[in-house]
Amino acid sequence: MDPMLNIAIRAARSAARIIMRSFYRRDELTVTAKDRNDFVSEVDRAAEAAIIQEIRGKFPHHAILAEESGQHAGNEFEWIIDPLDGTTNYLHGFPQFAISIGLRQRGLMQQAVVYDPLREELFTASRGGGALLNDQRLRVSSRRDLRGALLGTGIPFRDYSQMDLFLETLRVLVPDTAGVRRPGSAALDFAYVAAGRLDGFWEFGLSPWDFAAGALLVLEAGGTVTDMDGGDGFFDTGNVVAGNLRVHQGMLERLKPLLAGRRGA
């Protein structure tokens, strides 16, 4: 195993121990609002600190971009960390949350870990080495088009200016599919696309830590990830479409008339 991936796994497991210790005493946690409908708890901060400690212990000169503590300067390697993706789910006892850790080098994702501590599902990927769920090789679904496809999404909950556009995308993507799921953890949504549990996924306004690791999982499982125009600007826009190649193309075809002329899609 790549030593950098090994450190990411160790860091994710360290964070998981903190997260699970508090899961059944959530009413005792200190919770503050970062923004509208965007919350952070002492668990988020402690889990992030544990991840950073693991990484810094082995790679002290690497840069870090973490959801709670922001940018930490370093060299060409950058760790992108979400210590608890799905905080709102966690605080409500809704069993859908994960730890997401990705490593980027000169703009290219190299390593990825998404860990679901409740189910003990460890999704990992290394560039050029494929993607795994625990010890099993991952592959995106083989569905040939949107007919019968199961899609995942995220509903805008901070920036309501995107709500009308999101509802339009829902209107055009739902027909002929098996339905749409909104579980509330983008990191797991991407992991589920990689595992073939979802055929496709789209969302507006994500942050890099929401999908950095998940995007590599999808790519290494044989899928594709783009912005809404089919380009590679999703790290800049936060607007993402992912899926197996045919479902992804079908989604883009339906989205194109809605997004024509909109900048930053």
Domain that holds residue 46: 3-137
Give dist(CA 265, CA 258) in Å, integer: 10
Whether residues 28 and 125 share a domain: the answer is yes
d(CA 128, CA 87): 31
Across 12-16, 34-38, 128-132, 253-257, least confident range: 34-38
Helix pair angle (3-23, 42-58), 10° resolution: 160
- Top pLDDT among 257 and 221 is at 221
Query: Considering the entire predicted model, what is its pTM?
Result: 0.93
The answer to whether residue 19 sits within a structural domain is yes
pLDDT digits (tens, 9 = 90+) for 162-210: 788 999 999 999 999 999 999 999 999 999 999 999 999 999 999 999 9
Rounded Cα gap, residues 29 and 42, in angstroms: 7
DSSP β-bridge partners for residue 242? 201, 225
Residue 265 within any structural domain of the chain = no
Token pair 């696309």: residue: 193
In a domain, residue 145? The reply is no
Strand order in 108-116's β-sheet?
70-72, 63-66, 77-85, 98-105, 108-116, 121-126, 130-133, 136-137
Decide which of 159 and 201 is more confident: 201
Distance CA 83, CA 66 (A): 8
Residues 37 and 91 in one domain: yes
